[in-house]
């Protein structure tokens, strides 16, 4: 309790900044709710001949727990609602929602649950966990960087690569790459 209070006090006293040198994972201890306000989960898939397909999920939620004493005991859980996928092209969105890809009518949630968090620097960590989509689970690894910490709000930049074939979504390969590049900004609010 006292450790957490100290961490909280430390967090509250930090200057408003996004420079990584000013923030530290240890200072961010606490439980945070990830909401869509300010957060974004973007993805892109390269295609043959150059360019690619990119989009974002509009609805998701999650929780980040940061253990101030031992960052390695932190955890994260995110639920994405694939029905909210948007690429800027309605026909592509409909295709992604259909049983060709997400089958969002029958599989309305994509869930990531961390199984281990390894601190790799003052503000960085590697998060391993299980991703579940369309009834298939597979281990995945994401890289997280704490970008800002102010007034009970944390901002993480998270990246990772996922092979869509593991989740029965290999349609369109090899024209469209099997590798999905995720690029997320996750804003967590304490509580």
7 to 46: interface string for another protein, x by CB under 8 A: ----------------------------------------
Q: Which stretch binds another protein (CB under 8 A): 32-40, 86-94, 122-130, 180-188?
A: 86-94
Kindly tell me which of 8 and 45 has the beta carbon lying closer to another protein: 45
Helices within the chain (DSSP H only): 2-13, 90-97
Kindly tell me which of 81 and 176 has the beta carbon lying closer to another protein: 176
Q: Are strands 124-133 and 60-66 parallel, antiparallel or unpaired?
A: unpaired
Kindly tell me which of 89 and 165 has the beta carbon lying closer to another protein: 89
Residue from 1, 37, 91, 191 in contact with another protein (CB under 8 A): 91
Tokens standing for 103?
């089958």
Nearest 5°: CA angle at 77, between 73 and 78? 155
Tokens standing for 3?
């450790």
Residue from 5, 100, 105, 128 in contact with another protein (CB under 8 A): 100
Please enumerate in sequence order all residues whose Cβ is within 8 A of that of 164, keeping only pairs 6 or more positions apart, or say none. 45, 170, 178, 179, 180
Kindly tell me which of 98 and 159 has the beta carbon lying closer to another protein: 98
Contact flag: residue 89 with another protein (CB under 8 A): yes
Residue 21 C-beta-side C-alpha neighbours within 13 Å:
0
94 exposure class (CB count in 10 Å sphere: 0-12, 13-18, 19+): exposed
Q: Which stretch binds another protein (CB under 8 A): 15-23, 57-65, 85-93, 141-149?
A: 85-93
Q: How far is the CB of 12 from another protein (least distance, A)?
A: 48
Number of helical (H) and strand (E) elements in the chain, helices listed first: 2, 11
Return the SS3 of 56. Answer: strand
Kindly tell me which of 51 and 191 has the beta carbon lying closer to another protein: 51
- Residue found by looking up tokens 């940061």 in the block: 66
Can you give the C-alpha Rg of the chain in angstroms? Answer: 17
Residue from 17, 18, 33, 98 in contact with another protein (CB under 8 A): 98
Kindly tell me which of 70 and 99 has the beta carbon lying closer to another protein: 99
* Binding region for another protein (CB under 8 A): 47-49, 51, 89, 91-92, 94-95, 98-101, 171-172, 174-175
């Amino acid at each position: 309790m006292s450790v957490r209070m100290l961490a909280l006090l430390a967090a509250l006293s930090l200057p408003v900044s996004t420079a990584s040198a000013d923030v530290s994972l240890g200072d961010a201890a606490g439980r945070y709710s990830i909401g869509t306000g300010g957060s974004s989960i973007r993805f892109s898939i390269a295609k043959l001949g150059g360019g690619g397909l990119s989009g974002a999920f509009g609805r998701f939620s999650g929780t980040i727990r940061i253990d101030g004493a031992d960052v390695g005991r932190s955890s994260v859980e995110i639920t994405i609602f694939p029905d909210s996928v948007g690429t800027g092209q309605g026909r592509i969105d409909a295709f992604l929602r259909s049983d060709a890809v997400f089958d969002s009518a029958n599989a309305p949630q994509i869930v990531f649950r961390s199984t281990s968090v390894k601190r790799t620097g003052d503000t960085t960590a590697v998060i391993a966990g299980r991703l579940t989509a369309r009834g298939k689970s597979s281990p995945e690894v994401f890289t997280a960087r704490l970008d800002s910490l102010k007034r009970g709000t944390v901002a993480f930049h998270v990246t990772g690569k996922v092979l869509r074939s593991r989740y029965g979504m290999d349609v369109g390969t090899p024209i469209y790459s099997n590798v999905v590049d995720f690029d997320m900004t996750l804003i967590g609010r304490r509580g």
